[in-house]
């Protein structure tokens, strides 16, 4: 019978170092702001309206959801970003149009992680940061993938509706406040849960994992199944998650974010 073992360092690998503090975690009084111009997706059928329901197949077409090698992991994702919806997207981002403005239900569709990863990489290759500004509704899996990868997503219907071509915007990663300098307006987006905000402020789930790896090597996993009364209020999947919680007092609920004990599964 297989048992879950504590995390362990690969043989010959250097000890894990605690990652440097992210720019998002700057001390009070810091001046790191993301600044850029609006890049707007207009609805071709409704003049003056931002385009709704941009799905992940439009963000990253299926033919571009491939990696040719580990050295060029995200190259096709970057090349394919909005390949058909906005063929010059990459060039426009590199010119400083780093605030992607869209309507409602941005990022719906399949759960392809290549979409937020590719968008983030397009900006980073030019030394820039990308910010997605959309309506209050956004694809749930896209939103979670973006948070995990450290891509800024600002859900604010008012900000999306107000933005116009050429507007200059700033985003404060610490407070998540968005400012349209051209219009003289500020916006506070849909709030995150405390755990989501922790992941975001840490730069994404990969950085969080690296930060907590050392603790995981010294902490033995503890699995305990719920009693019958608790189990009656949980689905089968929720019972598995409940049993594998690292933080045993964490609530298992839809939309929640939990740390769980797990083992690598065969691909």
**pLDDT tens readout for residues 193-212:** 887 888 887 778 777 777 77
76-122 pLDDT, tens digit each? 999 999 999 999 999 999 999 999 999 999 999 988 999 999 999 99
Q: Angle at CA 46, nearest 5°, toward 156 and 166? A: 55
In the predicted structure, residue 266 carries a pLDDT above the cut 80: no
Q: Is 123 helix (H, G, I), strand (E, B) or coil?
A: helix
* Residue 145 CB contacts under 8 Å (≥ 6 apart), including other chains: 111, 113, 115, 116, 117
Q: Regarding the domain with residue range 30-198, which homologous superfamily does it belong to in the CATH classification? A: Aconitase, domain 4 (3.20.19.10)
* Residue 156 CB contacts under 8 Å (≥ 6 apart), including other chains: 133, 135, 136, 178, 187, 188, 189, 190
Most confident option among 165-174, 200-209, 241-250: 165-174
pLDDT of residue 23: 41
Task: Count Cβ atoms within 10 A of the Cβ of residue 227 and give its class: 0-12 exposed, 13-18 middle, 19 or more buried.
Answer: exposed
Range name among 10-24, 34-48, 124-138, 220-234 with the lowest pLDDT average: 10-24
* Both structure tokens of 124: 């980073």
pLDDT of residue 222: 85
By residue count, the chain amounts to 267
The pLDDT confidence band at residue 221, using thresholds 50, 70 and 90, is confident
State the span(s) of the chain assigned CATH 3.20.19.10: 30-198
Considering the chain, what percentage of its residues have pLDDT values greater than 70?
A: 89
Most confident option among 71-75, 136-140, 177-181, 263-267: 177-181
Specify whether the CB–CB gap between 82 and 89 falls below 8 A: yes
In the predicted structure, residue 13 carries a pLDDT above the cut 90: no
Cα dihedral angle (139, 140, 145, 151), rounded to 10 degrees? 60
In the predicted structure, residue 171 carries a pLDDT above the cut 90: yes
* pTM given for the model: 0.77
pLDDT of residue 176: 95
How many CB atoms lie under 10 A from the CB of residue 151?
25
Average pLDDT, the chain: 87
Q: Angle at CA 153, nearest 5°, toward 46 and 145? A: 115
* Both structure tokens of 172: 């404060």
Tell me how far the alpha carbon of residue 24 is from its chain's centroid.
14
pLDDT of residue 24: 43
């Amino acid at each position: 019978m297989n048992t879950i073992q504590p995390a362990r360092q690969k043989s010959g690998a250097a000890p894990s170092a605690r990652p440097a503090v992210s720019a998002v975690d700057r001390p009070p009084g810091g001046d790191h702001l993301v600044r850029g111009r609006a890049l707007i997706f207009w609805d071709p059928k409704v003049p003056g309206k931002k385009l709704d329901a941009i799905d992940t197949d439009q963000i990253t077409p299926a033919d571009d959801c491939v990696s040719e090698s580990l050295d060029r992991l995200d190259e096709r994702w970057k090349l394919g970003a909005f390949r058909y919806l906005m063929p010059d997207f990459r060039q426009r981002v590199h010119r400083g149009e780093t605030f992607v403005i869209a309507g409602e239900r941005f990022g719906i569709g399949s759960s392809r992680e290549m979409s937020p990863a590719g968008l983030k990489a397009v900006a980073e290759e030019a030394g820039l940061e990308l910010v997605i500004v959309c309506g209050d509704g956004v694809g749930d899996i896209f939103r979670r993938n973006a948070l995990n990868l450290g891509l800024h997503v600002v859900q604010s219907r008012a900000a999306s509706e107000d933005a116009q071509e050429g507007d200059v915007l700033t985003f404060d990663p610490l407070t998540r406040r968005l400012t349209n300098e051209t219009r003289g307006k500020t916006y506070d987006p849909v709030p995150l849960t405390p755990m989501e905000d922790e992941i975001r402020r840490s730069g994404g789930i990969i950085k969080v994992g690296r930060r907590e790896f050392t603790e995981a090597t010294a902490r033995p996993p503890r699995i305990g199944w719920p009693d019958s009364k608790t189990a009656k209020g949980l689905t089968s999947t929720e019972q598995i998650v409940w049993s594998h919680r690292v933080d045993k007092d964490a609530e298992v609920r839809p939309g929640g974010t939990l740390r769980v004990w797990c083992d690598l599964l065969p691909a």
